[in-house]
Structure formats: C-alpha cells, structure tokens
C-alpha cells in the first residue's frame, strides 16, 4: 500500500467517488483533527441532546404506565399486547433510521479519519440496542455524546459516555442504590424489600473503559466506584422526579446515593454528591494503566492484532504527557512509522466494509431498512455488539467464510443498483498505486461495469486495510 | 443433469486437497455431533412439562389446565405440552430426556445477565469474554471440529480462541454465477481469501439454501441444522437461537406457537439427519424459568427453575430427570419460582462429556471454571 492508499483506507473510511486524492497524506489526516465537525449538516434534523434523551425516557415511562393500565382492563384483553406491538414497531423504525443516519454521516464526512475515531470510541464505550430502552438511546448516545468529545480530553469523553443515560441503562446503573442511603433507610422503616448496589457500571468502567482488566484494580475498587456512582440515574423517570438534572439527560438523585468517603486505587474522595464520581473518573482517565490500555487498543486498530510495543509506548507517552488530550494521541498515531507499514494490517470489519462500499459508490442508494438489513446479514448489526466489551477488533472475529459470501452478495446487489460508468478509473482511485495486477485485470475483463464494481468491492484490497 | 450441489462437491474436494487440513472440514464417519438450541427469553418449564400430579401446580395454573386435558403423559407426575408431538414421539422411543427444576447458578432475573452467564459459563455476568461452547471445542481431539452457528453473527457461546463460523440464509439476492465463477481467479494469489471462499462455497453447498431466505421458518432451520451436521464435509457442532419465549402476556397462545415451531424444527431435524441421529446429541436450554403464578396479563414473569431437553439416538431418554422440589408456597424459590434442584452447568458438562466420551470433571473445569458441582451422570448410553 502506498501512503496515499494507507491514508484513505487504513486511517480513513475508503475513497469517496468524485473526491480528489490527498496529495500529502499525513497533512491531510492531521488537518482532519481540526476540521472535524461534531454536528455536521446530516445531523441537523436529529435531536440528540440531553433534552431529547430526557424526553425519550419520560415517553417510555409514560408508555409503560399506560400499558400497565391497559392490562388491568378486562373488557379489552388484547389492548396491552397491541400497544406493545405498535410501540415496538415505532422504536424499531427509529433505530433503523438512526443506523442509516450513521451510514450517511460516514458517507458524507470530509474528515473520514475522525469519523473512524467516532466509531472507535463508540465501540470502546459500547452500549447495545439489545437491551430495553436502548434502541431509542443509542443514536443520541453516539451522535450527541461521543461525537462531541472525540477531539477533546479523554476524561471528558469518559464522563460523557459513562454517565450518559444510554450507559446508565445498559449497565443497570440507574437503579443502583446505596445500602446506607436515605432511600434504604426509608425502605427498612416501611418494611419494603431491599434494593441495593449494582456493580455493573463500576466494574466495566475499570475493566473496559479505563484501566483495563490487568490495570491493577481490586474487587474493592469496583465496589467503591459502584458506591460512588450510586445516585446517577436519568431524567424523565417518575421515580427520580426529585433528582437534579445533569448534562446529557442524566440526573443525580441524592436520596439513593451512598453517603461517605470512597477510596479507589488508593485515593480518597470526599462525598460531594456528583463531584465524588466525577473526581474518581477524572483520576482514572489519566492513570498510567488507562494510558497503556487505550494506547494498546488504538495501536491494535491501526497497526494489527498484535500491535508493536514501540507503537503502544509511543501512544501511551503522548496520552500521558498531554493529560489525555486526544488530538495529541491522534498526531502520534499519524507520525508513527508503525502505522504506515506497506502490508495491510487489518481485516475490514463488516461495518467498515459497508461504509467503504457506500463511499466508493458515492451515494447511499439503499433504503434505510435495506442498509440495516445488509449490516445484519454481513454479521455486524449496528449498535448490537452483544457485550459491553464492544465488537472485537481482531481478525479471527471477522475473516469468516459466511461473512465473505455475504459480502459478495451485497457487493453485486449494490453494484447493480448504482450502475457506475467509471469503474476502471475508480479502482485506481480507491487504492492509489496499490492495486494488484490480478484485481486490475479482473475489473478490466469483467463483462460489465456492474460486474467490475462488484469484483472491486470484494477484492483482496477492499477486504483489508 | 449436474446440479450446483454435485458440481461444488467435486471442485471443493479438489480444492481441499491443496489447502491442507485446516481449511477442509475433514471428518471421519462415526464421530459425534452436537446441536445446541438456546430458547431465549426464559421458557416456562412448567408449561413445557406440566407437573399435573402436583396439587399446588393445579391450583396455581387452574385456568390453564385444559391445555393438558389430552396431553401425553410423561410419567406419573408430568405431562408434555400437547404442541410437542414429535418430542413426545421421541420420548416414547427413548430418545428424549426431560430434565426439570434445572437452572444455572444465576439467581436474579435479568435476561441480559442470565444469557451472558448461560453462554460464557462464568460465575458472574460479563466476567468472561469467551463462550462455554467455544471452550468445549478446545477439548475435542485433533481440533478438526468445525462449529457453525446458524446465525448472522457468532453467538457469545461460540466466541473465543477456537475456530467457529456462522451461516445464515440471507434475504440478500443470490450472487450471480457469473460473479461467483470469477472469484477463484480474483483470490488465486491470496491464500486466506481463497481458503475462506472455498469454505464458503462448501457451506453454501451443504446448506443448499436456495429455498430458504431466513432462519425464521422453524422447519427450514431444522433441515438446515441437519444438513450441516449430517454432511461429511459439514460441522460437528451447530448452535442456534430460538427467540421469543418471554411470555409476560397471553402465554397460552404464545407458547402454543413457540412449542409448535420448536417441535416442527425437531421433526425436520430428525428427518433430515437420518441415521446420523444415532451419533447426535441435541441440547435444549433456556436462561431461566418463570413464575409459578399467572400474572395479571395471562402470562408469567421472570422466575428461576426451568426445564431442559436432551434428545438424540444415544440419550437415555423416555424419562423425566428431576429431584422435584414441589410447588407449594413453602417449597418455592423466594416464594414465587420453581426451586432449582439441578445445576444446568452440571447437566451440560455431564451430557457433553458422556456423549463425546471425555472426562466429566475435565469438561466441567474447562466449561465452567471455578465450579464444584458434580457433572450429572447416566444421561447418555
């Protein structure tokens, strides 16, 4: 791969039909950091802020109350089921629209390197539409919270992601309660069943979002962080109507917060309400283990499944010296020799491949639903990684037989829809200076432009980056 | 006439010879097969096999008892749901074992966490990243043990360091032969893609899925699973999800449909797999059970103990395996659920070890690290 092709494909999301080729690959990439637009035109019609999140949550709560009332109605036994069904269809339609919007953002962006970072961080702080409440929150989460912070400090990204209602719901934080909170005392007085601590978010923050599983934390650190996090819930819940609104649609409900000083990773944090968890997150965000963990994941994404130690060191140093200022880490990535090796280092994940296909074609062409279905059939449904660890970023998870076959089918379908006329030139532009003779000849000798484009989309060059 | 299937079988055999043992699904006849079906959403085990002799059950489920008026009796206590005709037939032939009052070690009521534990075999939700079935592949001799999930993405149970692939019929239009024919040339210089492509064509040929466009039709899914396991070039382990068991409302009709689908899948699977049935174990599990009481919407809520099924030619079936705890209020788990008296982890380890002739303790340690349950014995002949 030439530097041009590496910039387009490894760092970016693939060549977009009609674009000029970048003349100075490194500068082109670096300029994208400053040129990144968190709220581009394509997002203009989609409300994604905290107000929208609170509205979605309140709306869900209201729906549940109405449905439960309908269940009590003996005269109309099917009413509740009908309501649920309609509701589910609405939610699904909304999710499909958001998935297609995610595709359009990736197609239309002029800063594809930064768009890749949006996808990277969204997966680092994975939530899944599998869980109830989530289908309507995943869009606002990525569009409204992740996007805003990918060119800022890691600590701000961490706080925005971990304390967003999508994450609070996904990892059960919103109903976690301090065993010594006022809520617990009241419950005990009234003889109500006990509710207590949920460690899920606390554990994942340490294990998946910051220090990493080998980052040196103990089970007691997990519990202490979980205690500090009690009280973080979301706006729009009737049960937390008295909670104090926080950014992004979150809320802090002192009534369920565990009082007292907490100790995490050897440091003490006084109980200052919201400030306690925020201070812990700020410290975790700049911990050396976090620098190393984040550096390793980034290095794996850009330099291969087993990333060179030298690159991990380089990125961890940039992270630590800048206090987690992400643009400094991106610059280190761009400057590092390890990310410019000529051989392809990664097998494209289905999402990356699908985005590459859209950009090569230059237009969406597929209906929203078709795009969502295509992703599912390629084996990577958007926002459904199936685990808080996110989609795996190693070749073994993606270089599969069925996955390849589905790419062939999807490629032909899209090629037939697009009916391009310039496939031979397009091939050279997609992989400048890097096209193999085999692929070039296959495309040239294809019986039609459509066939040529389909072959190009499933070529070895397109499968890897 | 040479059809697509025979043609492929020929070219695949040729290609396989040049690709070496890792690429080919090499397998000798007579090896054991496994089909794992996960009923997602918490199946009501009490509806699957109703303890009609338990007076507390008759009281709690009085308004649903009509369902079992003509249901086949499994033994003096239990009756099988009437939609499960094929399952009942297999039971009659001694090829189906019903296990009751079984649960994983999970005692909360979140599908999300429970399915994670069911699939990872971990002690706590999200503690492990790999699946119990993937670790099981590691125990099979010779590593020639291709596993296929009939799904578009690999389920957690099959994720991990051992190779496993996926296959799902697709709603995408079939690729043209003109395109398919060009791919061997396109991948000629690329060993990885050439190997994957050859494997893909092989799997497609085995699936022969031109008449299927999704896994939604239960009989098609059963046929597909049978083809995958019966074909000498196919898989030894197949896993599939059966969704939609979360019966919070209008449970009677919902389960009538679900059980009919499951039974149709089993019938198609049994017919499709032919004599290989004698080497096949089918394991049917769910993440937890449901409340004994009927809720306000003619459904049941999340509970604890449920039922599991073992089917296959070698299963010591025709019986219900249960240390029945009873359903009187004092006998329930937390006053509402069927109390588990058997560990699903012990059941799975015992069944897999016995079927594949492996050391049961070793299977338990590999699949469910950190547990001390004794694997259940006497499941397989």
Give the pLDDT confidence of B52-74 residue by residue, as tens digits.
999 999 999 999 999 999 999 99
Cα–Cα distance for residue pair B286/A238, rounded to 1 Å: 33
Token pair listed for B222: 């059963």
Token pair listed for B73: 């009796």
Cα–Cα distance for residue pair A242/A231, rounded to 1 Å: 12
Cα–Cα distance for residue pair A429/A432, rounded to 1 Å: 5
Q: DSSP 3-state helix, strand, coil percentages of chain B (rounded to 5)?
A: 40, 15, 40
Q: Residue B30 pLDDT more than 60?
A: no
Q: Which residue has the higher pLDDT, B172 or A428?
A: A428
Mean pLDDT on B12-24 = 35
Cα–Cα distance for residue pair B350/B361, rounded to 1 Å: 9
Contact B182 A80 (CB under 8 A): no
Contact A412 B112 (CB under 8 A): no
> Is the CB of A88 inside 8 Å of chain B's CB atoms?
no
Q: What is residue B309's predicted lDDT score, i.e. its pLDDT?
A: 98
Nearest-CA neighbor of B88 among B252, B317, B279? B317
Q: Residue B11 pLDDT more than 90?
A: no
Q: Which residue has the higher pLDDT, B12 or A171?
A: A171
The per-residue DSSP string of B13-79 comes to HHHHHHH-TTTS----TT--EEEEEEEET---HHHHEEETT-HHHHHHTGGGGGGGTTPPB-SSSEE
Rounded to a whole number of angstroms, the distance from the CA of A426 to the nearest CA of chain B is 17
B chain contacts of residue A439, beta-carbon cutoff 8 Å: 186
**For all residues of chain B together, what is the average pLDDT?**
88
B chain contacts of residue A457, beta-carbon cutoff 8 Å: none
If you count them, how many residues does chain B have? 381
Helix (H) or strand (E) holding B47: helix B45-48
> Is the CB of B159 inside 8 Å of chain A's CB atoms?
yes
Q: What is residue B321's predicted lDDT score, i.e. its pLDDT?
A: 98
Q: Residue A119 pLDDT more than 60?
A: yes
Contact A459 B167 (CB under 8 A): no
Contact A399 B186 (CB under 8 A): no
Q: Residue A106 pLDDT more than 70?
A: yes
Nearest to A405 among B125, B171, B200 (CB): B200
Cα–Cα distance for residue pair A293/A285, rounded to 1 Å: 11
Q: Which residue has the higher pLDDT, B27 or A433?
A: A433
Q: Please answer whether residues A307 and A341 qualify as being in contact, where contact means their C-beta atoms are separated by less than 8 angstroms.
A: no
Interface mutation target, options A203, A405, A443, A456, chain B, most CBs of B under 10 Å: A405
The crossing angle, in degrees rounded to 10, of helices B251-273 and B218-230 is 30
- H, E, C per residue of A152-172: CEHHHHHHHHHCCHHHHHHCC
**For all residues of chain A together, what is the average pLDDT?**
95
Cα–Cα distance for residue pair A9/A113, rounded to 1 Å: 9
Nearest-CA neighbor of A293 among A229, A223, A205? A205
Q: Please answer whether residues B241 and B284 qualify as being in contact, where contact means their C-beta atoms are separated by less than 8 angstroms.
A: no
Nearest-CA neighbor of B319 among B123, B153, B95? B95
Contact B126 A204 (CB under 8 A): yes
B chain contacts of residue A458, beta-carbon cutoff 8 Å: 183, 186
Residue A29: C-alpha distances to residues A288, A435, B87, B116 (Å): 27, 22, 61, 40
> Is the CB of B172 inside 8 Å of chain A's CB atoms?
yes
Provide the percentage of residues in chain B whose pLDDT is more than 90: 70
Contact A378 B152 (CB under 8 A): yes
> Is the CB of A442 inside 8 Å of chain B's CB atoms?
yes
Q: What is residue A30's predicted lDDT score, i.e. its pLDDT?
A: 98
Least confident of A300-304, A344-348, A385-389, B157-161: A385-389
Q: What is residue A418's predicted lDDT score, i.e. its pLDDT?
A: 93
Cβ-Cβ pairs closer than 8 A, A with B, add up to 127
Provide the percentage of residues in chain B whose pLDDT is more than 70: 90
Helix (H) or strand (E) holding B78: strand B78-80
Rounded to a whole number of angstroms, the distance from the CA of A259 to the nearest CA of chain B is 26
Contacts with B261 (C-beta within 8 Å, 6 or more apart), sequence order:
B218, B242
> Is the CB of A283 inside 8 Å of chain B's CB atoms?
no
The interface pTM score, or ipTM, of the predicted complex is 0.93
Nearest-CA neighbor of B105 among B132, B135, B141, B74? B132
Token pair listed for A101: 């919007």
Q: What is residue A18's predicted lDDT score, i.e. its pLDDT?
A: 95
Contacts with B275 (C-beta within 8 Å, 6 or more apart), sequence order:
none
At B21, is the pLDDT very low, low, confident or very high (cuts 50, 70, 90)?
very low
Q: Give chain B's radius of gyration (CA, Å).
A: 21
Q: What is residue B14's predicted lDDT score, i.e. its pLDDT?
A: 34
Q: Residue B10 pLDDT more than 50?
A: no
Cα–Cα distance for residue pair B115/A387, rounded to 1 Å: 11
Contacts with A422 (C-beta within 8 Å, 6 or more apart), sequence order:
A449
Token pair listed for A31: 């300029």
Residue B182: C-alpha distances to residues A133, A401, A410, B305 (Å): 46, 17, 16, 54
Chain A neighbours among B 116-135 (CB < 8 Å)? 116, 125-126, 129
pLDDT tens profile B258-268: 999 999 999 99
Mean pLDDT on A154-163 = 98
pLDDT tens profile B174-200: 899 999 999 999 999 999 999 999 989
Q: What is residue B290's predicted lDDT score, i.e. its pLDDT?
A: 95
Q: Which residues pair with B36 in a beta bridge?
A: B239, B283
Contact B153 A401 (CB under 8 A): no
A138 Ramachandran zone, left/alpha/beta (phi>0; psi -120 to 50): alpha
Nearest-CA neighbor of A450 among A410, A428, A417, A404? A417
> Is the CB of A76 inside 8 Å of chain B's CB atoms?
no
Contact A451 B179 (CB under 8 A): yes
Instruction: Say if strands B165-167 and B237-243 run parallel, antiparallel, or are unpaired.
Output: unpaired
Interface mutation target, options B175, B197, B216, B302, chain A, most CBs of A under 10 Å: B175
Least confident of A8-12, A411-415, B201-205: B201-205
Q: What is residue A361's predicted lDDT score, i.e. its pLDDT?
A: 97
> Is the CB of A310 inside 8 Å of chain B's CB atoms?
no
The terminus-to-terminus CA distance of chain B in angstroms comes to 43
Cα–Cα distance for residue pair A204/A201, rounded to 1 Å: 5
Q: Which residues pair with A464 in a beta bridge?
A: A347
Contact B174 A399 (CB under 8 A): no
Cα–Cα distance for residue pair B264/B219, rounded to 1 Å: 5
Q: What is residue B4's predicted lDDT score, i.e. its pLDDT?
A: 32
Q: Please answer whether residues B81 and B259 qualify as being in contact, where contact means their C-beta atoms are separated by less than 8 angstroms.
A: yes
HSE of B133 in the Cβ direction (CA atoms, 13 Å)? 29
pLDDT tens profile A281-313: 999 999 999 999 999 999 999 999 999 999 999
Q: What is residue B244's predicted lDDT score, i.e. its pLDDT?
A: 86
Instruction: Say if strands B96-103 and B147-150 run parallel, antiparallel, or are unpaired.
Output: unpaired
Token pair listed for A250: 């979150």
Helix (H) or strand (E) holding A233: strand A232-234
At B49, is the pLDDT very low, low, confident or very high (cuts 50, 70, 90)?
very high
A chain contacts of residue B178, beta-carbon cutoff 8 Å: 447, 451
pLDDT tens profile A373-415: 999 999 899 999 978 889 999 988 898 888 999 999 999 999 9
Q: Which residues pair with B79 in a beta bridge?
A: B50, B73
HSE of A378 in the Cβ direction (CA atoms, 13 Å)? 27
Q: What is residue A194's predicted lDDT score, i.e. its pLDDT?
A: 66
B chain contacts of residue A447, beta-carbon cutoff 8 Å: 178
A260 Ramachandran zone, left/alpha/beta (phi>0; psi -120 to 50): left
Mean pLDDT on A16-24 = 97
Q: What is residue B28's predicted lDDT score, i.e. its pLDDT?
A: 40
Contact B196 A388 (CB under 8 A): no
Q: Residue B144 pLDDT more than 80?
A: no
Residue of A nearest to B180 (CA): A408
At B211, is the pLDDT very low, low, confident or very high (cuts 50, 70, 90)?
low
At B209, is the pLDDT very low, low, confident or very high (cuts 50, 70, 90)?
low
Contact A438 B197 (CB under 8 A): no
Residue A254: C-alpha distances to residues A143, A196, A275 (Å): 29, 14, 12
For A171, phi and psi rounded to 5 degrees?
A: -105, 25
Chain B neighbours among A 204-233 (CB < 8 Å)? 204
Q: Residue B26 pLDDT more than 50?
A: no
Token pair listed for A69: 């009332």
Contact B298 A172 (CB under 8 A): no
Rounded to a whole number of angstroms, the distance from the CA of B202 to the nearest CA of chain A is 9
Nearest-CA neighbor of A370 among A410, A407, A336, A397? A410
Q: Residue A340 pLDDT more than 90?
A: yes
The per-residue DSSP string of B169-211 comes to --SSPPPPHHHHHHHHHHTTT-HHHHHHHHHHHHHHHHHTGGG
């Amino acid at each position: 791969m030439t530097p041009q092709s590496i910039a387009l494909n490894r760092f970016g999301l693939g060549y977009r039909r009609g674009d000029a080729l970048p003349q100075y690959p490194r500068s082109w990439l670096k300029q994208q950091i400053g040129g990144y637009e968190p709220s581009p035109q394509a997002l203009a019609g989609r409300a994604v802020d905290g107000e929208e999140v609170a509205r979605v949550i309140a709306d869900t709560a209201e729906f549940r109350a109405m449905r439960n009332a309908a269940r009590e109605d003996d005269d109309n036994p099917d009413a509740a089921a009908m309501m649920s069904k309609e509701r589910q269809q609405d939610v699904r339609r909304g999710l499909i629209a958001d998935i297609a919007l995610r595709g359009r953002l990736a197609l239309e962006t002029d800063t594809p390197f930064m768009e890749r970072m949006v996808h990277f961080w969204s997966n680092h702080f994975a939530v899944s539409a599998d869980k109830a409440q989530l289908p309507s929150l995943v869009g606002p989460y990525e569009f409204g919270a992740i996007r805003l912070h990918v060119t800022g400090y890691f600590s701000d990204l961490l706080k925005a992601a971990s304390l967003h209602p999508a994450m609070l719901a996904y990892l059960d934080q919103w109903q976690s309660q301090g065993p010594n909170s006022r809520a617990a005392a009241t419950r005990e007085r009234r003889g109500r069943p006990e509710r207590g601590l949920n460690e899920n978010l606390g554990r994942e923050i340490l294990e998946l979002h910051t220090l990493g599983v080998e980052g040196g934390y103990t089970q007691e650190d997990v519990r202490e962080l979980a205690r500090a996090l009690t009280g973080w819930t979301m706006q729009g819940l009737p049960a937390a109507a008295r909670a104090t609104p926080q950014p992004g649609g979150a809320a802090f409900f002192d009534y369920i917060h565990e009082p007292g000083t907490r100790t995490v990773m050897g440091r003490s944090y006084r109980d200052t309400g919201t400030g306690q968890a925020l201070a812990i997150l700020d410290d975790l965000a700049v911990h050396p283990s976090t620098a190393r963990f984040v550096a390793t994941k980034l290095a794996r994404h850009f330099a291969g499944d087993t990333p060179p130690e030298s690159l991990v060191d380089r990125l961890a140093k940039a992270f630590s010296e800048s206090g987690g200022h992400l643009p400094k880490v991106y610059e280190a990535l761009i400057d590092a020799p390890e990310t410019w090796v000529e051989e392809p280092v990664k097998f494209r994940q289905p999402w990356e491949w699908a985005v590459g296909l859209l950009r090569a074609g230059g237009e969406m062409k597929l209906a929203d639903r078709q795009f969502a279905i295509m992703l599912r059939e390629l084996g990577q449904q958007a926002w459904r990684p199936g685990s808080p660890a996110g989609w795996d970023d190693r070749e073994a998870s993606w270089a599969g037989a069925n996955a390849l076959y589905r790419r062939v089918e999807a490629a032909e379908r899209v090629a037939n829809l697009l009916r391009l006329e310039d496939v031979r030139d397009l091939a050279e532009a997609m992989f400048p200076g890097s096209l193999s003779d085999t692929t070039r000849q296959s495309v040239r000798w294809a019986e039609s432009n459509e066939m040529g484009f389909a072959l190009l989309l499933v070529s070895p060059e397109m499968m890897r980056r | 006439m040479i059809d697509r299937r025979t043609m492929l079988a020929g070219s695949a055999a040729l290609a396989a010879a040049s690709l070496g043992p890792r690429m080919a699904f090499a397998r000798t006849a007579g090896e054991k097969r496994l089909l794992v079906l996960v009923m997602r959403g918490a199946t009501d085990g009490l509806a699957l096999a109703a303890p009609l002799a338990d007076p507390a059950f008759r009281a709690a489920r009085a308004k649903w008892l009509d369902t079992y008026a003509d249901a086949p009796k499994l033994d003096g206590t239990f009756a099988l749901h009437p939609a499960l005709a094929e399952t009942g037939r297999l039971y009659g032939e001694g090829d189906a074992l019903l296990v009751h009052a079984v649960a994983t070690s999970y005692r909360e009521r979140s599908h999300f966490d429970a399915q994670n534990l069911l699939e990872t075999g971990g002690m706590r939700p999200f503690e492990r990243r790999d699946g119990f079935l993937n670790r099981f592949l590691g125990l099979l001799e010779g590593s020639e043990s291709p596993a296929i999930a009939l799904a578009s993405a690999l389920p957690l149970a099959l994720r991990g360091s051992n190779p496993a692939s996926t296959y799902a019929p697709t709603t995408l239009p079939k690729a043209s032969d003109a395109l398919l024919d060009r791919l061997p040339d396109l991948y000629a210089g690329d060993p990885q893609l050439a190997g994957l492509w050859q494997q893909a064509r092989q799997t497609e040929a085995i699936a022969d899925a031109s008449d299927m466009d999704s896994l939604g039709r239960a009989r098609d899914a059963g046929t597909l699973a049978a083809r995958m396991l019966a074909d000498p070039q196919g898989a030894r382990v197949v896993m599939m999800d059966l969704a939609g068991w979360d019966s919070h409302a209008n449970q009677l009709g919902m389960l009538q449909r679900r059980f009919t689908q499951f039974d149709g899948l089993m019938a198609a699977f049994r017919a499709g797999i032919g004599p290989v049935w004698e080497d096949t174990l089918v394991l049917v599990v769910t993440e937890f059970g449901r409340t004994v009481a009927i809720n306000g919407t003619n459904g049941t809520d999340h509970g604890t103990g449920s039922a599991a099924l073992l089917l296959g030619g070698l299963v010591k079936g025709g019986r219900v395996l249960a240390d029945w705890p009873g359903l009187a209020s004092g006998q329930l788990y937390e006053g509402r659920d069927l109390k588990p008296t058997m560990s699903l982890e012990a059941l799975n380890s015992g069944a897999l070890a016995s079927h594949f002739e492996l050391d049961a303790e070793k299977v338990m340690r590999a699949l469910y690290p950190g547990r001390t349950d004794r694997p259940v014995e006497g499941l397989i002949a």
